[in-house]
């Protein structure tokens, strides 16, 4: 059975891949990953929604929507980890937390898939 989602034409989204830089620890030192997020690169991606959910946080009801994100396997995209976030290049209000490291879904080193959740930043 062919997976039509793993074709170049299915990568319809553009996402900015961002990593947090070092931040100040208050004692003239730096904390890795505690600074501002900065765009490292922008890639084409396919985003397939999964079943969303709601949760209560600080007495407020909030929703989250997980996505399976598919990107080409490149040296850049292999750097993505759970410390990164994605921002929709067409709508910067859509921010996604990367919640799983990239995995090679078919073992052919052509695509990478990982989970990203909108609404949990």
pLDDT at 2: 44
pLDDT at 78: 94
CA separation for the pair 101, 72 (Å, rounded): 14
pLDDT at 59: 53
Q: pLDDT tens, position by position, for the chain (121 residues)?
A: 345 556 667 889 999 999 988 777 777 766 666 778 999 999 999 999 987 555 555 555 567 789 999 999 999 999 999 999 999 999 999 999 999 999 998 889 999 999 999 976 5
CA separation for the pair 4, 17 (Å, rounded): 24
DSSP strands (E only) in the chain: 13-20, 23-24, 30-31, 37-49, 53-57, 60-72, 84-88, 95-98, 111-118
pTM of the predicted model, to two decimals?
0.79
pLDDT at 41: 96
* Residue 36, phi then psi, degrees to nearest 5: -75, 150
The helix/strand/coil state of 52 is coil
pLDDT at 65: 87
DSSP state of 80: -
pLDDT at 55: 57
CATH code for the structural domain at 8-118: 2.40.10
Residue 31 Cα distances to 34, 36, 65, 72, 92, angstroms: 6, 12, 30, 31, 26
Q: Where are the domains of the chain?
A: 8-118
Cβ 40 vs Cβ 98: under 8 Å: no
């Amino acid at each position: 059975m062919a997976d039509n989602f793993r074709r170049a034409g299915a990568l319809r989204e553009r996402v900015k891949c961002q990593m947090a830089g070092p931040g100040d620890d208050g004692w003239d030192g730096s904390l890795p990953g505690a600074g501002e997020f900065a765009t490292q690169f922008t890639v084409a991606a396919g985003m397939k929604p999964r079943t969303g959910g709601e949760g209560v946080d600080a007495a407020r009801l909030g929703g989250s929507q997980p996505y399976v994100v598919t990107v080409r396997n490149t040296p850049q995209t292999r750097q993505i980890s759970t410390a990164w976030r994605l921002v929709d290049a067409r709508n910067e209000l859509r921010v996604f937390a990367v919640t799983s490291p990239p995995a090679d879904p078919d073992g052919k080193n052509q695509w990478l898939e990982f989970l990203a959740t909108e609404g949990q930043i």
